[in-house]
Amino acid sequence: MKHGLGKILHREQDEYLERLLPPRDALLQEMEALAAERDVPISDPEVGRLLQALAGAAGARRIVEVGTAIGYGTLCLARGAPGARVVTIDRDPERLAQARGYLERGGVAERVELLEGPALELLARLEGPLDLAYLDGDKREYRRTLDLLLPKLRVGGLVVVDNLLWGGKVADLDEDDPETAAIRAFNGYFLIHPQLASVLLPLGDGVGLGTKTKPLITEMGGPF
């Protein structure tokens, strides 16, 4: 739990759900320990399981992740879709190097492309179609990231967005720091987007899940 027990659900519910989580393998446990020790933002274990399940259920062939950190979510995505190519983006070269090491040890490195640099610049050059997009980068860029990715996502493709409850702060209107305000605004945009069927789940730190239901006007040659 990134923000601690009791920040999203009641504490006893959090503790119950944590007890239900099956043990992770040694590699994931090592990554979790490193993240806790060095305060590295990785996906919560339950979110990792969701990513693995969704990648498999979607039959994903091309996946993009924004916010690699040390590759925890990347590894889960690649494991869930053994036939997929995963592109993952991060600004931090040290974390990307760590991610590369973990992905090699996990046996998936040959299917993962690690890109270093600003996500918005790199996404603008990324080619589609994509089957699944996972957003876990700069929260202030979530809306622009989604806008760049949606035209490249196939109809029926999935968008997964992490940290949308932000330790519960999005529900506290007295919290108006830039990240909280950006996530709060993004949540409304995500849930009413006309090309998405979306839901916000109280899983981990809050996960947005959306399916692209129809093409954008620009994909059909518009505006008309």
Residues making up the chain, counted from first to last: 224
What's the pLDDT score for residue 202? 94
What's the pLDDT score for residue 5? 67
Residue 6 to residue 25: CA distance in whole angstroms: 26
pLDDT digits (tens, 9 = 90+) for 173-210: 888 899 999 999 999 999 999 999 999 999 999 999 99
Span 127-136, average pLDDT: 97
CA angle 194, 195, 197 (to 5 degrees): 90
Phi, psi of 103 (to 5 degrees): -65, -35
DSSP annotation of 83 reads T
Span 89-110, average pLDDT: 98
Q: Where does the pLDDT of residue 222 fall: very low under 50, low under 70, confident under 90, or very high at 90 and above?
A: low
Q: Which residues are paired to 158 by β-bridges?
A: 132, 211
Q: Where does the pLDDT of residue 224 fall: very low under 50, low under 70, confident under 90, or very high at 90 and above?
A: low
- Say if CB 89 and CB 63 are below 8 A apart: no
Fold of 11-213: Rossmann fold (3.40.50)
Whether 36 has a pLDDT exceeding 80, the answer reads yes
Span 12-36, average pLDDT: 94
Residue in 95, 55, 76, 200 with CA at minimum distance from that of residue 142: 200
Q: Which residues contact 110 (CB under 8 A, 6 or more apart)?
A: none
Residue 90 to residue 116: CA distance in whole angstroms: 5
* Percentage of residues in the chain having pLDDT higher than 90: 86
Query: Which has the higher per-residue pLDDT, 9 or 144?
Result: 144
Span 91-99, average pLDDT: 97
Q: What is the CB-side half-sphere exposure of residue 86 using CA atoms within 13 A?
A: 33
Q: Where does the pLDDT of residue 2 fall: very low under 50, low under 70, confident under 90, or very high at 90 and above?
A: low
